[in-house]
Chain A
Amino acid sequence: MRPAPSNRIDERALSVWRLTGLIISMIVFLLSIVATILLFSWLEIQWLLAVLPVVLSFILGILLTLVIPKVRYRRWRYQVSEGYVDFQHGILIIKRTLIPMARVQYVDTVQGPLLRYYGLASITISTAGGSHEIPALAGEVADNLRDHIAQLAQVADDV
């Protein structure tokens, strides 16, 4: 079996994902507190049942901020070589994808506000059949990789 692709994404991806997870789970947590208050005082449901949303959203928060980013980061690998782009990712379901260079239509780098704050960027590789993303690379690495892929794709097209 071919070994897993060699390159990891930037370690700061962890912070970005944790932060995103934290923001999402804060919102969900606030909503669940409101829900619990409503359930308890308005519908007069037993408090053991009424706190269920809070408990669930707390578990979700732990998953989103602590567990998932770590697993996701550990799983993410990519490798770009002359003939193809190869990457592997996934949390429960591990996916390994291969894109022949000759099929690459264009490459983008994308930077959201969070990514920009950490000096990161993600790369989107588009084929005629759909697009694929390599998230959270250091800005410079992403720029170089984008140009590199574009160049290789062009060479592959000429053949």
Chain B
Amino acid sequence: MYKPRNQHPTSMLFYSFHVIRFVIFPLVLSLFTMIKREDYLIWVGLALGLLLIIAGGWGILSWARYTYQVVDGELRVNQGVIIRERRYIPQERIQAIDITENIFHRLLGVVQVNVETAGGSEPEVSLMAVKREEAERLRKQLMTRTKEEEPSQETPLLVHRLSFQELLLAGATSDQIGIALSFLGIFSSGLDRIFEWFNPFSAFDIPLDMIVDHSTAIWFAIFSVLFLLFLSWIIVIGGTVFSYAGFTIQRVNGELLIQRGLLERRRSTIPLQRIQAIRIVEGVLRQPFGLVSVYVESAGYGVDADAESTVLFPLLKRQEVKPFLQQFAPEFVGSIELKPLPQRARRRYIVRSCLPMLFPILFLSLFFFPFGLFSLLLLIPSYFWGRLKYRDAGWSEAEGRLLMRFRRLGRITVIIPRRRIQSGTVSATPFQRRANLVTLGVTVASSAIFRVANLEATTGESLLEWIRTGQRPLYWGKTKESEKSPHT
């Protein structure tokens, strides 16, 4: 059981594939430059043959060199074809274990195992292909310590599944529609050119203007915008289905098991005591319907990790959040009542929101003089956006947890236990100093930093005090009572 093991032999294919993927583009490009030569086919054959031999050889060597074992509570990996490397990872440093399978893994009946520790954003150990049972065995072996730390606490198996309706709803209300739309927009402006170049009516020698009168053109424009919107909506729903289909979260003793994905299936294991913070996000399209998604900040996945890998549950009703956390992350349950920011902060939020607009307004007004002035209308939505940001922002401290709420695009509420806070910062710009306001920033071990702007200066100070001592200063949240501080 403790002998060094090799991965499943099919991992050779994955290693070879990596090599091929790495060189295929420059290779094809260089072959294209020779396309005029007579002996072209020979060269192609030679290149492909050589590529196959190198890739195959690399695959075999990588597989042969790669061994892993679990000894004395350590995962030990020996690897490397040219540079040999040994890597020892103590069990208690492991933050998360992911088991993923893409379509090729599924054809071959194997899975990929990624082991994450706190450092860096890349997985520290990545087994390309092992049998599913072997992956499960490894996972159990590396995660057993959680039982020791939580003795005799036999929690019943808790499961929560994303239904198919919820899956579609999650896709339909996803913020990513903006991204899809902008991509399609760029793409379709390209189509425009093609249409110009290849005018189907030109065969009949009729200019476009003759066929299309003004109102039809306008209708056509409206229709195509709607069509683009609809298309990006469908794309986003499709994407959501692909990545979140069959989303299931289970709590087994001290750890969370998360499964998801249609073609590429992924199973992540996150020990409960490795969760640094919980993030509740109400996207712009979700908030009106009272829907939220819940994310986890874990030291295993750095800030660069794709947003999907940190999803605890993609779609919940707002009132479901509390029971959900009670089941799956009880450390984070508590009142979500927030204290608002001082009235003076509102102006700062509005100014902050309007200021970036001045640039395009100035530009448009100067260069398109009379009509460009209409761009001043941009200030109206910015004004209301600033007000909204002010209204949404807030903070509170209860039972050793810090709550912060702020709006980026969606409204984000973060729950951070005090003992998970890596550092706290208050900062103030000259404008903030004049209004006696500060920005609070808190970092956690996932390297994420959360900020709430324009708190009362004394509130900021007392929150730093609270981070330091865990004591509530007497002047909590009030103004100008700094003398009462118990710690000065």
Docked Cα-Cα span, A95 to B423, in Å, equals 12
Interface digits, A77-95 against B, CB 8 Å rule (1 contact, 0 not)?
Answer: 0000001100000101111
Residues of A near B444 (CB, < 8 A) are: 129
Q: Is the CB of B423 within 8 A of A99?
A: yes
Docked Cα-Cα span, A93 to B438, in Å, equals 10
Docked Cα-Cα span, A135 to B433, in Å, equals 25
Residues of B near A100 (CB, < 8 A) are: 421-423, 467-468
Do A130 and B427 contact each other (CB < 8 Å), given the known contacts A1-B488, A3-B488, A100-B467? no
Q: Is the CB of B447 within 8 A of A130?
A: yes
Residues of B near A84 (CB, < 8 A) are: 468
Do A99 and B426 contact each other (CB < 8 Å), given the known contacts A2-B487, A2-B488, A129-B443? no
Docked Cα-Cα span, A93 to B419, in Å, equals 28
Interface digits, A101-114 against B, CB 8 Å rule (1 contact, 0 not)?
Answer: 01100000000000
Of the candidates B118, B427, B449, B457, the one whose C-beta lies within 8 Å of that of A90 is: B427
Of the candidates A83, A93, A129, the one whose C-beta lies within 8 Å of that of B446 is: A129
Closest to A81 in B: B468
Chain B CB within 10 Å — which of A1, A95, A132 has the most? Answer: A1
B452 at the A interface (CB under 8 A): no
* A31-72, CB < 8 A from B: none
Q: Is the CB of B488 within 8 A of A129?
A: no
Interface digits, B183-200 against A, CB 8 Å rule (1 contact, 0 not)?
Answer: 000000000000000000
Q: Is the CB of B433 within 8 A of A98?
A: no
Docked Cα-Cα span, A130 to B421, in Å, equals 12
Do A94 and B433 contact each other (CB < 8 Å), given the known contacts A3-B488, A128-B118, A130-B447? yes
Docked Cα-Cα span, A2 to B423, in Å, equals 17
Total chain B interface residues with beta-carbon distance under 8 A: 33
B464 at the A interface (CB under 8 A): yes
Closest to B482 in A: A1
Q: Is the CB of B429 within 8 A of A130?
A: no
Of the candidates B299, B419, B423, B468, the one whose C-beta lies within 8 Å of that of A83 is: B468
A8 at the B interface (CB under 8 A): no
Residues of A near B419 (CB, < 8 A) are: 102
B430 at the A interface (CB under 8 A): yes
Q: Is the CB of B485 within 8 A of A92?
A: no
Q: Is the CB of B423 within 8 A of A130?
A: yes
Chain B CB within 10 Å — which of A103, A129, A132 has the most? Answer: A129
Q: Is the CB of B427 within 8 A of A93?
A: yes
The minimal Cβ–Cβ distance linking B395 to chain A, given in whole angstroms, is 16
Residues of B near A102 (CB, < 8 A) are: 419
Residues of A near B467 (CB, < 8 A) are: 98, 100
The minimal Cβ–Cβ distance linking B118 to chain A, given in whole angstroms, is 6
Of the candidates A1, A90, A93, the one whose C-beta lies within 8 Å of that of B458 is: A1
Instruction: Report whether over half of chain B's contact residues are helix, strand or loop; otherwise say mixed.
Output: mixed
Q: Is the CB of B425 within 8 A of A98?
A: yes
Of the candidates A1, A83, A95, A129, the one whose C-beta lies within 8 Å of that of B461 is: A1
* B435-488, CB < 8 A from A: 443-449, 457-458, 461, 464-465, 467-469, 482, 485, 487-488
Of the candidates B421, B428, B429, B485, the one whose C-beta lies within 8 Å of that of A2 is: B485
Of the candidates B423, B465, B487, the one whose C-beta lies within 8 Å of that of A132 is: B423
The minimal Cβ–Cβ distance linking B89 to chain A, given in whole angstroms, is 16
Q: Is the CB of B469 within 8 A of A83?
A: yes
Residues of B near A128 (CB, < 8 A) are: 118, 299, 422, 445, 447
Chain A CB within 10 Å — which of B447, B457, B468 has the most? Answer: B468
* B74-109, CB < 8 A from A: none
B123 at the A interface (CB under 8 A): no
Residues of A near B422 (CB, < 8 A) are: 99-100, 103, 127-130
Do A94 and B428 contact each other (CB < 8 Å), given the known contacts A1-B461, A100-B467, A127-B422? yes
Residues of B near A94 (CB, < 8 A) are: 427-428, 433
A116 at the B interface (CB under 8 A): no
Do A98 and B424 contact each other (CB < 8 Å), given the known contacts A2-B488, A128-B299, A129-B446? yes
Of the candidates A1, A2, A83, A130, the one whose C-beta lies within 8 Å of that of B443 is: A130
Residues of B near A1 (CB, < 8 A) are: 457-458, 461, 482, 485, 488
Docked Cα-Cα span, A10 to B469, in Å, equals 29
Docked Cα-Cα span, A128 to B421, in Å, equals 10
Residues of A near B424 (CB, < 8 A) are: 97-98
Docked Cα-Cα span, A11 to B482, in Å, equals 32
Residues of A near B446 (CB, < 8 A) are: 129
Q: Is the CB of B423 within 8 A of A129?
A: yes
Of the candidates A2, A96, A98, the one whose C-beta lies within 8 Å of that of B427 is: A96
* B285-308, CB < 8 A from A: 299
The minimal Cβ–Cβ distance linking A125 to chain B, given in whole angstroms, is 9
Residues of A near B428 (CB, < 8 A) are: 93-94
Q: Is the CB of A96 within 8 A of B464?
A: yes
Residues of A near B461 (CB, < 8 A) are: 1-2
Question: Can you identify 17 A-B contacts, CB atoms within 8 angstroms?
Answer: A1-B457, A1-B458, A1-B485, A1-B488, A3-B488, A90-B427, A92-B429, A95-B425, A96-B427, A98-B424, A100-B468, A103-B423, A127-B422, A127-B423, A128-B447, A129-B423, A129-B449
**10 closest pairs, A vs B, by CB?**
A129-B422, A128-B445, A129-B443, A95-B427, A127-B422, A1-B482, A97-B425, A99-B423, A98-B424, A103-B422
